[in-house]
Amino acid sequence: MDSQLNINESDILKVFAVSGAILQSVLGMFLKHAHSHSDMALLAVIYTMVKYTAPVFIFAIVYGMVKGNQHTKPGHFYKEKFNELVIPYFLWATASLIFIPGVQVNRHATSFWTLIESYVVGNASPQYWYTVMMLQFQMLMPVLIYICYKFLSKPSRVIPLLAVSFIIFGAWLWMYDTYVFHGAYATSLRYLDRVFVSYFIYALLGGIAWVHKEQFDGILRRFQFILIPVMLLLLIWTNREFFSFGFEDMSFGNLIYLKPSMTLYSLVVIALIHMLAGHLIHKNSRALPFYKWLSTYAYRAFTANVFILYFVLKLFGGLVDQLPFFVALVLVYLTTISCSFCIVYAFAKAYAWIKRTFRKDELAVQADH
């Protein structure tokens, strides 16, 4: 079944990533509806649980890229990714800037140059920085292919490279925590959290997971029984860190990826989802076609979700505050994620129909001549 569907672990990883990312959007919007510390605590605990999305996205992207593009020419790859990634991002970011400018983050677009900055750094809406960061790894495709298939072709080089990489990444986390996160350079270096260096360790592991798949999967199987307990311990750690900021003016901006607790948590979650994905594929699960469909539209649904969430909240109106808090949260989330996938699917089908129609007209004109 997996060969017929052309499905692999990265597809299932993407589904978990986009589901978590959309939930993060909903949780962020619901902060203004939290009227008690218990409501805030609920949001915070759920948010820490799904604060794995960017690393999972990167791991999945590079895993799929390395798997399917060993012999692909960079020019062809970039053209394909421009249509697949850049155009949806530009269209949905533009829609957000026009119709819901109030959801912009950091510096708002007030001139031509700040408008360009908004696109480049992903300020048009919360979480568009994900797209900016992920596109950088797509641009690095030739480098990643070379590292994975040339340099790491000798298994003896994997452990030394990982050791050096984790040391460098640890130093980067220390620098960010000391000088950027609530530090002296919090404003001037605020966009470091969307530079590829801040997440390269997940990309490297994604490439290694495919090129040395048998060994990688074997290592995960050895530790499979301790992964869930470790994940729960790391969740306690991340929640203690977050709650130390208090409930006054609670901000999810205080829960960042670039610290040891979140890095370890993300790595454990990646391992768990990767193992689940491998199990589903090995067993030819009946859910595979569903995962494949979701993964096909995952990125587009992600780029649309904040825009759609805004109007979903408008649709619910005062009902959000009348319903029990958790019930309202679940309803808004399910509505948002369903509408996000359905709308981008409808757009994709409409675009395909228009494309076929013009192609038929073009062929008819050529036949007449």
Question: Using one digit for the tens of pLDDT, what is the confidence trace for 120-173?
Answer: 999 988 889 999 999 999 999 999 999 999 999 899 999 999 999 999 999 999
Whole-angstrom distance, CA of residue 325 vs CA of residue 17: 24
Mean pLDDT of the chain: 92
pLDDT for res 30 = 94
> What is the tens place of the pLDDT at every residue in 230-264?
999 999 999 999 999 998 878 898 999 999 999 99
Condensed to tens digits (0 to 9), the pLDDT of residues 282-328 reads: 999 999 999 999 999 999 999 999 999 999 999 998 899 999 999 99
What is the pLDDT at residue 2?
43
Q: Look at residue 163 in the predicted model and tell me its pLDDT.
A: 97
d(CA 325, CA 307): 22
The pLDDT tens digits of the residues spanning 47-66 come to: 999 999 999 999 999 999 99
* Torsional class of 248: left (φ above 0), alpha (ψ -120 to 50), beta (otherwise): beta
Q: Which residue has the tokens 């130390």?
A: 244
What pLDDT is attached to residue 231? 97
CA angle (331 as vertex; 325, 333 as ends), nearest 5: 100
Query: CB atoms < 10 A from the CB of 251, how many?
Result: 10
Residue 86: closest CA among 120, 36, 127: 120
As a whole number of angstroms, the distance between CA 276 and CA 270 comes to 10
User: What pLDDT sits at residue 127?
Assistant: 85
Residue range 177-190: mean pLDDT, rounded: 92
User: How many whole angstroms separate alpha carbon 161 and alpha carbon 155?
Assistant: 10
20-28 mean pLDDT: 96
CB count in 10 Å sphere of residue 96:
24
pLDDT of residue 35: 86
Helix axes 128-139, 112-121, angle to 10 degrees: 70
pLDDT of residue 1: 42
